[in-house]
Amino acid sequence: MQIDAVILAGGEGRRMGGADKALLVLEGRSLLAHVAGRLRPQVGRTALSANGDPARFAAFDLPVLPDARPLGPLAGILSGLGWGLANGVDAILSCPVDAPFPPADLAARLAAASGGSHPAHATAGGRMHAATALWPVALAPALAAFLASGANPRIADFAAAHGSIAVEFPDAAAFVNLNTTGDLAAATAGRVR
């Protein structure tokens, strides 16, 4: 199965005081550098789903995919699916930029569960991590229709409607989201992992 990845960084960072989460620094590197560094060995190509001026990401050598309409992370996943279709891959691995510790076997384990026909999402520590998921590119039309329907655009709802398979990972810390300045401070102090 050919897999590309899209890093989801289209949020407004409200709980971080409006900061661009992708560029926040953890252990001397941006969150984007952490996530991209962990995903690149697992997939063919990696892109960034982000809105605003793409020039701020020029140093990362990633295609920047803006949302057609700002409807949350599903809009970023849709952009990634469209990019994946154009590149001829089978699936897109999505991962939020504020979850900088994805496991080294993320793509392989999600792909094995998916079999290429269903989405598969990570779970750990009793929590669903719906944005950390593998999406067959064939779902692009269904996702576009879902977003156009006016439905509440929740990843978990779309995933469930398309038979997403839960894949349990043993390390819950691998999926910690750094949503606030306190979360980032805890990660910087080594209290997260």
pLDDT digits (tens, 9 = 90+) for 153-173: 799 999 999 999 999 999 998
Rg (CA), the chain: 15
Lowest mean pLDDT among 34-43, 84-93, 162-171, 175-184: 175-184
Tokens of 69: 């309409």
Lowest mean pLDDT among 13-27, 91-105, 172-186: 13-27
pLDDT score, position 183 = 64
Neighbours of 131 (CB within 10 A): 23
pLDDT score, position 190 = 67
pLDDT score, position 95 = 97
Q: Average pLDDT, stretch 1-15?
A: 80
Q: How confident is the model at residue 8 (pLDDT cuts 50, 70, 90)?
A: very high
Q: What angle do CA 167, 172, 177 make, to 5 degrees?
A: 105
Cα 53 to the chain's mean position, in Å?
20
Q: How confident is the model at residue 184 (pLDDT cuts 50, 70, 90)?
A: confident
Q: How confident is the model at residue 117 (pLDDT cuts 50, 70, 90)?
A: confident
Report how far apart the first and last C-alpha atoms of the chain are (Å, whole number): 31
pLDDT score, position 191 = 55
Neighbours of 32 (CB within 10 A): 24
Structurally, at CATH architecture level, domain 3-188 sits in Alpha-Beta Complex (3.90)
Instruction: Tell me the C-alpha distance between 174 and 99, whole Å.
Output: 8
pLDDT digits (tens, 9 = 90+) for 49-88: 999 899 999 999 999 999 877 788 999 999 999 999 999 9
What phi and psi, each to the nearest 5 degrees, are found at residue 80?
-65, -40
